[in-house]
Structure 1
Amino acid sequence: MMHTSLQSRLAIGIAIPVAIATLLAVVLVSYGARQLVDDFVLSRLEHDLETLVAGVELRPGAPPHQGQQLTQVYQQPYSGHYFQIETEGSAPQRSRSLWDQQLDLPSLEPGERRSFRTQGPEGQPLMLLVEGFRQSGQSAVVGVAEDIGPLAATVRLLQTGVAVLGVLLLGLIVLSQTALIRRGLAPVNALRTELQRLERGDIQELNADHVPLEIRPLILEINQLIRLLSSRLTRSRNALGNLAHSLKTPLTILDGLAGNEPEAPEEVRRQVVAMRNIVERELRRARLAGSGMPGATLAPETALSELADVFTRVYAHRAIDFDIQVTPQLRLPLDREDFLELAGVLIDNACKWCHGRVRVSVQRLGEETLLTVDDDGPGCPPEQRESLAERGWRVDEEQPGSGLGLAIAVDTVNQYGGRLTFDDSPLGGLRVKATLVTGRD
């Protein structure tokens, strides 16, 4: 599905009606100019027609006689001013300006008048005015015409100028409206920047000061939603932690009783151990909720360095060489407790099996964050890798631990919509890659 910006929609919504209005204005101006030319020419032709009709004498069986002469322009060949008189049974009388050409006059009843455009001598565009009249019992048709070529050229020039002016005006309006739209949407762009800062954890709430009244309610609702989610997340985390802590005391008592009673069934001891493991796991899951405030970010380089120091002391007898590979100044939109829990489980697992080298790297690829932990240990056979993340499953029962570490890592990865994969490491041991969907920068 194609998405368009609000600015583009508003610009298009303004440009279309403005373009239509400009086109209509050009059409109306063109039509008005043409009509003005026609009315101007017809007003002059009507005067010449009335003068011509008043001076015509119709004689039976003879051509019409023009008693009153018109202006000299009707005597110059192809001057652009012409007249023609037609009667029944006789040759038409033409102005000398027609020379050897003839106008095509329609047949009209006496008193009927028509005007239209036609083509005259040498292709001249003419405005022709024709009227039928009757004199001495004889009918006749008289027509006068004028070349409107120069006026039509002027009209075309005017139409072109109006069209160019309309296009320039349209462009100016669109540009000015686009600038106004961009200025009007500046608070929306600022809100988008604020949301990005909120996602990165730079701020805890959106700034509701100095914003338009139309946007302020939205910002207040978002801030209220952030506070509500944070409060609910904190309450859930505390409730889960309190429940797990409240169960630890009776479990400790049961464990002590089972240990002091030799006749206590072995099944009771196993169930107590299982319940203790569940409580420990739920205590860790409580920490997966993070600080309870959306938008937290962390510097993975600092966090991994701290973990490396811790595990260096824990496994001091093994002198493990830690190699931390993180892009400088990289910040991730992850909760610190989530990241430390996940990275701690994977690094601890690598330290247990390595011969002396552990490499940890963090990469940001688009919307995903990749945490990779390699060790130089014996690795894990491919047929056993699918079982590594199962709760309570251990590759080697002689190694310390409850088998819950990688299962907790899977819970963390699933919380971020990611995946946990196992492969051969370039160092010779096992590679564990945690892919988290953390959104774009």
Structure 2
Amino acid sequence: MTPRRHSLVLRLIATGAIWAAALLVAGGIALTGLYERAVLGALESRLQSTVNALVAASETSADGEVSLAREPTDPEYNLVFSGRYWQIADWRTEDRLRVIARSRSLWDERLRPPDRLMEAAAAQPGTPITMKTVGPDEEPLRVIAQAVILSGRPDMVVVLAAEDQRPADREVRRFGLISLGLIAFFAIALVAGLVLQVRFGLAPLFRMREAVAAVREGQAERVEGQFPSELQPLGDELNSLIDHSREVVERARTHVGNLAHALKTPIAVLLNESRSEQGGFAELVERQADTMSRQVDHHLRRARAAAHAKAVGAKTDVCATLDDLTRTLQRIYGRQGISIGFECEGEVFFRGERQDLEEMAGNLLDNACKWSGGEVKATVRLAGDGRFELLVEDDGPGMDAERREQALQRGVRLDESTPGSGLGLSIVGDLAAVYGGALTLSESELGGLLARLELPSRKR
């Protein structure tokens, strides 16, 4: 199962957006709370002014009755059930709430504050106590109660002023909705700013990625470009690694060449000496020396291909290489009446060395020509996932499944009448495996054998 990959850009944007959203929401809640306190504070300030005016206008007669020298001038107190009310009540043990005076807006009703409000006011004379209650029209009221002791009266009176809280609540809700809209707008603006900031901040990293990809695809030899001080050491290390990789490849090529010279000369001497002698021993030496020579060639090719496969930036034009091969083989086998067709679907580039591609494709084409009845066809096409396919078909006798499996084994020759060492298809399979590719054999539509070679590709 392929591990899930997380985008660094998305991670930065998501964390920044979540943090910004949390701060904006917290700020919006805090501002709405502060605004609610301000609105309710203004409402309570108006109520407190009414209470103060009523206390100041209260007078006590000789018989202890309370009257008002003047009533509040606010016209809302004269409209029935207007939502603004005042009331003066007598606080007695046997009758806790006897209305002494009330606003015209109460009509024949009276304020019925909670007992705990009255008890709290009576416990702290002169201190305003605020609570919520229900008005005569079943509206929610904000009420202030203040107990006062008037001269000439043994009992306290409680002055109450109340106002409908719904307009204040509507104002707070309106402010909250406006705040929500502004928060949403700021959130979108912040996310857009975060995207721009992250894209701009990570642009050098994207350029480095493109530079590394250009080296990998063979479009450049080194990671080039100006990078910030945080990334420049990474670019220098990548260039050092690329140089080291090329040095290792060159060293491997040198060792392969030295080994080839060291082994081929003694083997050539053995072959020459055995061919100049007669007898069974000479023939045995000749066969074994010839086998040694083929095996040396085979493993040297594998070693060279392995070094090339690990090199960074190797790239070969597949269509041009195959076109040259088919033209050459056409001149060789054309005298035998064999026609070699070649088709390339688009531009395809092999992620490897040209000589390795020539050896793999040449072996397949040469094998097809040897067994062909007159027609050989080669097709190159992209296979997706960074790979391409080389299809080589012939109209020869073909093979069954068992023989096709045997044909891929090293040194196996299914027909001794044809020239060869039995290493051709095995060499192709081994070289393809070194590059991470594969060789498969199946039945061709032409009636013969179909060799399907799959190898890694590069972009143009």
Q: Give the TM-score of the pair, scaled to structure 1.
A: 0.91
Structure 2 residue aligned with 1:133, among 121, 142, 148? 148
List alignment gaps of at least 5 residues for structure 1: none
Aligned amino acid, residue 206 of structure 2: N
Query: What is the aligned residue count?
Result: 440
Q: Identify the residue that residue 191 of structure 1 maps to in structure 2.
A: 208
5 Å-filtered alignment, 1:77-96, equals 77-87=80-90, 88=92, 89=95, 91-93=98-100, 94-96=102-104
What is the deviation of 1:57? 5.4
Distance 2:28 2:310 in 1: 64
Distance 2:251 2:393 in 1: 37
Secondary structure in 2 aligned to 1:322? Answer: strand
What is the deviation of 1:307? 0.6
**Deviation per residue, 1:380-432 (Å, 9 max, x gap):** 23221111011111011121111111111011111122221111111111111
Distance 1:60 1:127 in 2: 34
Q: 1:224 to 1:72 in 2, by over 3 A?
A: closer
Matched, 1:347 2:349: no
Q: 1:292 to 1:424 in 2, by over 3 A?
A: closer
Q: Identify the residue that residue 154 of structure 1 maps to in structure 2.
A: 171
**Deviation per residue, 1:197-230 (Å, 9 max, x gap):** 32331211121x3222222222222221111112
Over the aligned positions, Cα root-mean-square deviation in angstroms equals: 2.6
The more displaced of 14-23 and 332-341 is 332-341
Secondary structure in 2 aligned to 1:426? Answer: coil
Distance 2:321 2:288 in 1: 36
Distance 1:356 1:225 in 2: 50
Secondary structure in 1 aligned to 2:98? Answer: coil
Distance 1:157 1:257 in 2: 108
Q: Identify the residue that residue 100 of structure 1 maps to in structure 2.
A: 108
> Does structure 2 retain, via aligned residues, the 8 Å contact 1:258–1:264?
no
Q: Identify the residue that residue 115 of structure 1 maps to in structure 2.
A: 130
> Does structure 2 retain, via aligned residues, the 8 Å contact 1:312–1:319?
no
5 Å-filtered alignment, 1:115-264, equals 115-135=130-150, 136-207=153-224, 209-262=225-278
Distance 1:60 1:12 in 2: 78
Secondary structure in 1 aligned to 2:406? Answer: coil
Aligned amino acid, residue 156 of structure 1: R
Q: 1:137 to 1:394 in 2, by over 3 A?
A: same
The more displaced of 98-107 and 389-398 is 98-107
Aligned amino acid, residue 236 of structure 2: L
Secondary structure in 1 aligned to 2:55? Answer: helix
Q: Give the TM-score of the pair, scaled to structure 2.
A: 0.87
**Deviation per residue, 1:165-212 (Å, 9 max, x gap):** 2211121121122122222222233233333332331211121x3222
Q: Identify the residue that residue 306 of structure 1 maps to in structure 2.
A: 324
Aligned amino acid, residue 239 of structure 1: H
> Does structure 1 retain, via aligned residues, the 8 Å contact 2:118–2:145?
no
Distance 1:203 1:123 in 2: 83
Secondary structure in 2 aligned to 1:141? Answer: strand
Distance 1:411 1:348 in 2: 17
The more displaced of 97-106 and 349-358 is 97-106
> Does structure 2 retain, via aligned residues, the 8 Å contact 1:416–1:438?
no
Aligned amino acid, residue 389 of structure 1: L
Distance 1:59 1:388 in 2: 129
Q: 1:151 to 1:292 in 2, by over 3 A?
A: closer
What is the deviation of 1:291? 9.0
What is the deviation of 1:69? 2.8
Distance 1:157 1:143 in 2: 29
What is the deviation of 1:68? 4.5
Q: Identify the residue that residue 23 of structure 1 maps to in structure 2.
A: 25
What is the deviation of 1:86? 2.6
List alignment gaps of at least 5 residues for structure 2: none
Aligned amino acid, residue 130 of structure 1: A
Distance 2:62 2:255 in 1: 124
What is the deviation of 1:356? 1.5
